[in-house]
Amino acid sequence: MKKRFGALAPAILLLLVVGVASIGTGAYAYFIDRANSNNNTFTAASLDLKVNGTENLDQAFTVSNMVPGGSTIGAYNLTNAGTTTGYLNFEFEVVDYENGLLAPEIEAGDDGTTGELSQFVYLSLYVDENHDGEFNGNDIQIYYDPVSIIQSPQPSLNVELGAGQSLEVVASFYWQPTDNDNKAMTDSFTLGITFVLSQLQQA
Among 80, 120, 187, 193, binds Ca ion (CB under 5 A): 187
Cβ closer to Ca ion: 82 or 127?
A: 127
Could you say whether residue 107 binds Ca ion (CB under 5 A)? no
Could you say whether residue 139 binds Ca ion (CB under 5 A)? yes
Among 116, 150, 161, 195, binds Ca ion (CB under 5 A): 116
| Burial of 198 (C-beta count, 10 Å sphere; 0-12/13-18/19+) | middle
Among 110, 123, 143, 195, binds Ca ion (CB under 5 A): 110
Could you say whether residue 77 binds Ca ion (CB under 5 A)? no
The torsion of the CA quartet 90, 93, 94, 95, rounded to 10 degrees, works out to: -170
Among 77, 83, 84, 130, binds Ca ion (CB under 5 A): 130
Could you say whether residue 96 binds Ca ion (CB under 5 A)? no
Closest distance to Ca ion from the beta carbon of 158 (Å): 20
d(CA 129, CA 135): 9
Nearest to 54 by CA among 83, 77, 87, 31: 77
For residue 136, CA distances in Å to 128, 130, 170, 203 come to: 8, 8, 12, 26
Cα angle 154, 155, 161 (rounded to 5 degrees) comes to 110
Could you say whether residue 98 binds Ca ion (CB under 5 A)? yes
Among 93, 107, 111, 132, binds Ca ion (CB under 5 A): 132
